[in-house]
Amino acid sequence: MRWQLRIDPTACTGHGLCADLLPERIELDEWGFPIIHGDVGASLAGHARRAVRACPALALRLETKPRETTRRERS
């Protein structure tokens, strides 16, 4: 099972908590807005969920990746 982090760009106000909680996948640009690198596997899923819950703007979501996509990207 793999997940994709998604940001609602109009909701995000650049608090930056997500990058503190999930530095493995989220980097902040020079203005403090998140850049997402890659998807999330089981090992990081807990941290990703914590980042989603911590977002004060409710701008971060974790979506299940469709099966086919997952398989293609793994191979």
Interface ranges with another protein (CB under 8 A): 7-10, 12-14, 29-33, 35
> Between 1 and 35, whose beta carbon lies closer to another protein?
35
CA-wise closest residue to 25 among 42, 37, 15: 37
> Between 6 and 71, whose beta carbon lies closer to another protein?
6
Do 57 and 10 contact (CB within 8 A), yes or no? no
Min dist CB 35 to another protein, Å, is: 6
Q: What's the rounded Cα separation, in Å, for the pair 3 and 20?
A: 19
Q: Tokens for 11, please give them.
A: 């909701």
> Between 32 and 46, whose beta carbon lies closer to another protein?
32
Q: What's the rounded Cα separation, in Å, for the pair 61 and 49?
A: 8
Min dist CB 37 to another protein, Å, is: 11
Min dist CB 34 to another protein, Å, is: 9
